[in-house]
Structure 1
Amino acid sequence: MKILPEISRTLSEYLLIPGLTTEDCTPDTVDLGAPLVRHRVGEEPGIRVATPMVSAIMQAVSSPALAVALAQVGGLSFIHQNQLIEDQAADVLAVKRHKAGFRTGDVTVAPRTPLGEVARLLADTEQGVAVVTENGEADGEFAGIISLDDFHLERHGAGASAGNRMRGRSGLVTAPASVSLSEANELIWQHHLDVLPVVDGGRVVSMVLKSDYQAHKTYHRASVDAEKRLRVGAGINSRDFKDRIPALVEAGADVLCLDSSDGYSVYQAKTLEFARETYGEDVFVGAGNVVDGRAFRYLADAGAAFVKVGIGGGAICTTREQKGIGRGQASALLDVVQARDAHALETGVYVPLCCDGGLLSDSHMAMALAMGADFIMLGRYFARLDESPSRKLQIGGQWYKEYWGEGSRRAQNEARYGQRGRMAFEEGVDGYVPYAGSLYDNVERTRAKITSTMISCGSTNLRDFHRDAVLVPVSAESFKQTGAEVQLRRPAVDSGE
């Protein structure tokens, strides 16, 4: 037995001391960009994100819809692995079909398809336009396009065929596959188009929509690959990795991550070895979770693309209660950051750290980044939003969204926790979180808060923030002052003073 000479501390137990805010420290000059994968010191990483936020590998969080939205604002989502391999690969492919400014034809119909079916498909996929091909298949001969503006079910009849209302190929302005986004948008404005089909031979490969023009300007931080497709990650486990990794790589996953509550194991090392021997440096696999320098070094030496830090700190996690395993998130981060920096000095390779858990507020996120985390993984934060896959429901006049842990009985995540058949105990709970609206609004607000914190500390990028941040532990009395209760004024009885 060994007892560490420390108190296990959380992110709540520290405050940042302001640094000198210079004229260079403005919101426009602050760069929140961070490396996502290992790289040589002084060189650019293979994957970088403009917003240092990724979504947790959870059923209640990381759907294709959330992955698209998060990539658009500069982050990245990890599609969960607690599902059939083919289903997870299909989710990854659904995200990769989204090219920045270019859309793939998610809905393809034949000229004979009834208008009622066209309307249903467009509604189910939240698309505004469908591609019409001769055989109704995505790789079929291009015949035209049809949108909800081209027909009205009561006027034209649900049983009428799409061919009667579609805009035929001969009357459409199209562009070749080599067209750039700026060229495509120029054609749209020049010819007063709402949609521009991009054609390769007789097949539509993508579409550019006028409605996406402003979106392209808005999402200038989007996480995209070399082909301008949105980036997406995927979770894997140390059981079926020999089958799951190839399927996810084939689907186009940009980065993979081992999904485990405790990553300090030979099983994770074997999974990393398989990926390295099979794909060399072309496939990135993150690992974890860990809470000390020993475990970080083990996974870094095994080839982890990044390492996740945190055991038992998640809002939905009960690992500490059930198994007595874990560490305060601040203590874990400070230990692992020291090990990461020593490893970089020794090997010349920088292995990014992901803070996973213990992040109850935006200020905690800023604190984790100040302590040395490169990016943060969030479950509860994203589960509250419109784009998460869980149900939205009203309880006592308040709107909530369902949220459950991967260690809960509801998840039945055997690949993550190894309890076969009936679960002997749970390491997570099943509940609700207050509904918080749009991902776009929430992430923008969080970015603004972190940016403001960095400005107060005199930093304009995360590397400087890591180096220059000054922190101080907070006493119990400080907590009392921070949390002093104030009766808030209610707008309904505001006298207007």
Structure 2
Amino acid sequence: MLNNSKIIGEGITFDDVLLLPARSDFVPAQADTRTRLTRHVTINIPLVSAAMDTVTESALAIALAQEGGIGIIHKNLTIEAQQREVTKVKRSENGVILDPITLTPELPVSTALQLMNEQNVSGIPIVEGTKLVGILTRRDLKFLTDKSVRIRDVMTKTNLVTGPAGTTLEQAKDILRKHRVEKLLLVNDKGELAGLITMRDIDRVQQFPNAVRDPRGRLRVGAAVGVKDRDRVKALIKAEVDVIVVDTAHGHSKNVLEMAAWVKENFNIDVIAGNIATAQA
């Protein structure tokens, strides 16, 4: 027999609730779900992933940004590892890559392979100073067994497919299709490397029209820090993270407020702090 004196109220579950539909005068394709995440960052769907080590690293952050949301890389990593996760997102897609990763021809191939794996790229422009002298791609390395040989000995250095600085994505697409290659090296009048456009990036822009991108066409990503992680903040900003999240269980505290204020005073980047649960906070 139930003891009614111990029942303080009636509870309901999700299955007990029905959202009643009403008339609408537009179709789903006309719905605008854009929202402002911060003063300077707008997302196209109101979805932000949790900064948890079981939830958000670069893979989810990339997928979420492609669909219009944003991922927050968790902080349960070394500073260097978290910085790499941010870099993977920022370099996963580009419009025109103005600062491509480069190597010099005297370095060993093993260095290039390590960099390709860390940055998730399949080709690296090779320069002497700022002058373009070749490109090293995975195709060049496909049957190579000695990873100690110099890049100069295996890189592609003749018949390079290049375009002038200022080449648009549409122009690049025509050049790449004509020459049946996947990477277009941009050079200025002095033969210096000025940028890089890849067919993969061109395809991604068309495949994900609602993706959240920064002014340079790269996917946006956030990263979490603790209340004392000043070196972590510096490293993440160096990796060009879009937003810093001061992540604690109780955001309405002295340490959180001081950390958020320090970031704003020293860097030109938007800051999110939390968790908070009251209007006063």
Provide, for residues 323-370 of structure 1, a one-character-per-residue CA deviation record: whole Å limited to 9, x for no partner: xxxxxxxxxxxxxxxxxxxxxxxxxxxxxxxxxxxxxxxxxxxxxxxx
Q: What is the Cα deviation at residue 217 of structure 1?
A: 0.7
Change (3 A) 1:112 1:254: closer
Is the contact between residue 33 and residue 49 of structure 1 (CA under 8 Å) also seen in structure 2? yes
Counterpart of 1:80?
Answer: 74
Counterpart of 2:254?
Answer: 266
**Secondary structure of 2:30's aligned partner:** coil
Counterpart of 1:198?
Answer: 186
Change (3 A) 1:198 1:64: farther
Q: C-alpha separation between the residues in 2 aligned to 1:120 and 1:275? A: 33
Counterpart of 1:174?
Answer: 162
Normalised TM-score (structure 2):
0.78
**What do you get for the CA RMSD once the two structures are aligned?**
3.4
Counterpart residue type for residue 147 of structure 1: T
Q: 1:286 aligns with which of 254, 263, 272?
A: 272
Is the contact between residue 111 and residue 133 of structure 1 (CA under 8 Å) also seen in structure 2? no
Q: 1:19 aligns with which of 19, 22, 26?
A: 22
Q: C-alpha separation between the residues in 2 aligned to 1:120 and 1:97? A: 16
**Secondary structure of 2:228's aligned partner:** coil
Q: What is the Cα deviation at residue 16 of structure 1?
A: 1.7
Provide, for residues 58-111 of structure 1, a one-character-per-residue CA deviation record: whole Å limited to 9, x for no partner: 223322343233222222111222334444344334433345334564574636
**Secondary structure of 1:54's aligned partner:** coil
Counterpart of 1:354?
Answer: none
Q: What is the Cα deviation at residue 274 of structure 1?
A: 2.5
Q: C-alpha separation between the residues in 1 aligned to 2:112 and 2:217? A: 29
**Secondary structure of 1:53's aligned partner:** coil
Counterpart of 1:251?
Answer: 239
Unaligned stretches of 5+ residues in structure 1:
39-45, 299-497
Is the contact between residue 107 and residue 121 of structure 1 (CA under 8 Å) also seen in structure 2? no
Q: C-alpha separation between the residues in 2 aligned to 1:118 and 1:274? A: 38
**Secondary structure of 1:257's aligned partner:** strand
Change (3 A) 1:142 1:272: same
Q: C-alpha separation between the residues in 2 aligned to 1:237 and 1:276? A: 15
Provide, for residues 102-126 of structure 1, a one-character-per-residue CA deviation record: whole Å limited to 9, x for no partner: 4564574636634x77567646654
Is the contact between residue 109 and residue 118 of structure 1 (CA under 8 Å) also seen in structure 2? no
Alignment of 1:4-403 (within 5 A): 14-22=17-25, 24=26, 26-38=27-39, 46-102=40-96, 105-106=100-101, 108=103, 110=105, 113-114=108-109, 122=116, 126-134=120-128, 141-150=131-140, 152-153=142-143, 157-158=145-146, 162-168=151-157, 171-199=159-187, 203-204=192-193, 206-241=195-230, 243-279=231-267, 282-294=268-280, 298=281
Q: Identity of counterpart residues, as a percentage?
A: 28
Q: C-alpha separation between the residues in 2 aligned to 1:117 and 1:247? A: 22
Q: What is the Cα deviation at residue 218 of structure 1?
A: 0.4
Q: How many residues align?
A: 271
Runs of 4+ deviating beyond 6 Å: 5-13
Is the contact between residue 107 and residue 122 of structure 1 (CA under 8 Å) also seen in structure 2? no
Change (3 A) 1:186 1:111: farther
Q: C-alpha separation between the residues in 2 aligned to 1:293 and 1:58? A: 25
Q: C-alpha separation between the residues in 2 aligned to 1:108 and 1:75? A: 34
Unaligned stretches of 5+ residues in structure 2:
1-7
Q: What is the Cα deviation at residue 18 of structure 1?
A: 0.6
Normalised TM-score (structure 1):
0.47
